[in-house]
Amino acid sequence: MTAPDATPIRLGTRRSELALTQSGHVADAITAVSGRPVELVHITTEGDRSSAAITQLGGTGVFVSALRDALHDGRVDVAVHSYKDLPTAEEPGLVIAAVPPRQDPRDALVARDGLTLGELPAGATVGTGAPRRVAQLRALGLGLEVVPIRGNVDTRMGKVTSGELDAVVLARAGLARLGRLDAVTEVLDPLQVLPAPAQGALAVECRSDDDVTRSLLAALDDAGARACVAAERTVLATLEAGCSAPVAAHAEIGEGEDGGDELYLRASVTAIDGSDAVRGSVSGPATEAHRLGRELAADLLDRGAGALVAASR
């Protein structure tokens, strides 16, 4: 009987606690399905080196390009990304070999005194680094002062415990992966604040000509998560908007009338000042995720979404 390959798989990851946690989960899964050891290789990205706002750094890709460079030049065999950070265009020579099961994609509020969003008084300061969240929070008309922030999860939550801010809005998925859900005072209903396309999902990437690694990673893929992410990101791509644009999309899979998987997709584009928004929804077979994303984006564009995306730039 042939012994399993003991050559370590080199997995590229950012150095933040959240990135290391996510990459560690993927590494454990790779070892579980293959028996191969996994070595984490720390990569520093442009987004990690700067404290400037993501929009000032150029938006999409600031947490991605260094990891992809390491894949291209052979320093690593696999890279793990927060899927929402990836540019929508495909990267030549690389492939998303797996989309593991997705965490809850909703946003979460961490507020002083256990308050919910509706309980925060007018003028309360709420921190977030995402234009999408800024726009949607302003659109609620609660009179909140939305403050731009950067930093890791603990840094952001620390602004609440220190009294600098009344609340912050973060991705629930990151808090769950870090074991910080006890700090959440409200999980935000998507009817109020719709998540970012691909929020809560991971993308496991490798070189497209590395057949061995592609085959190994395929065992980690979740078809439902891949379909939902495909629909959401197709909306983003069709709108020609990056991950820093005020575009939101959320897909879920349920049982259709014919017994097959039905994909339900909602999306919105909101003016940064919250004064205007275009929203829509569509449903259809989960196997047609890309078509559904294009169809919904076309509907949003017909109703003025393009002007809102352009204004956000």
Res 260: pLDDT:
80
pTM of this structure: 0.90
Domains of the chain: 9-100+201-221 (3.40.190.10), 107-187 (3.40.190.10), 228-312 (3.30.160.40)
User: Amino acid identity of 250?
Assistant: H
Token pair belonging to 17: 């606690």
What own/partner pairs with CB < 8 Å and gap ≥ 24 does 250-255 have?
A: 250/105, 250/190, 250/194, 250/195, 251/227, 251/289, 252/228, 253/224, 253/227, 253/228, 253/286
Q: Would you name the residues annotated as active-site residues?
A: 85
**Per-residue pLDDT of the chain in tens (313 residues, 90 and over written 9):** 445 577 899 999 999 999 999 999 999 999 999 999 999 999 986 655 444 444 444 444 667 999 999 999 999 999 999 999 999 999 999 999 999 999 999 999 999 999 999 999 999 999 998 999 999 999 999 999 999 998 889 999 999 999 999 999 999 999 999 999 999 999 999 999 999 999 999 999 999 999 999 999 999 999 999 999 999 999 999 998 776 789 999 999 998 777 788 999 999 999 999 999 999 999 999 999 999 999 999 999 999 999 999 888 7
Task: For residue 283, report the phi and psi dihedrals to the nearest 5 degrees.
Answer: -145, 155
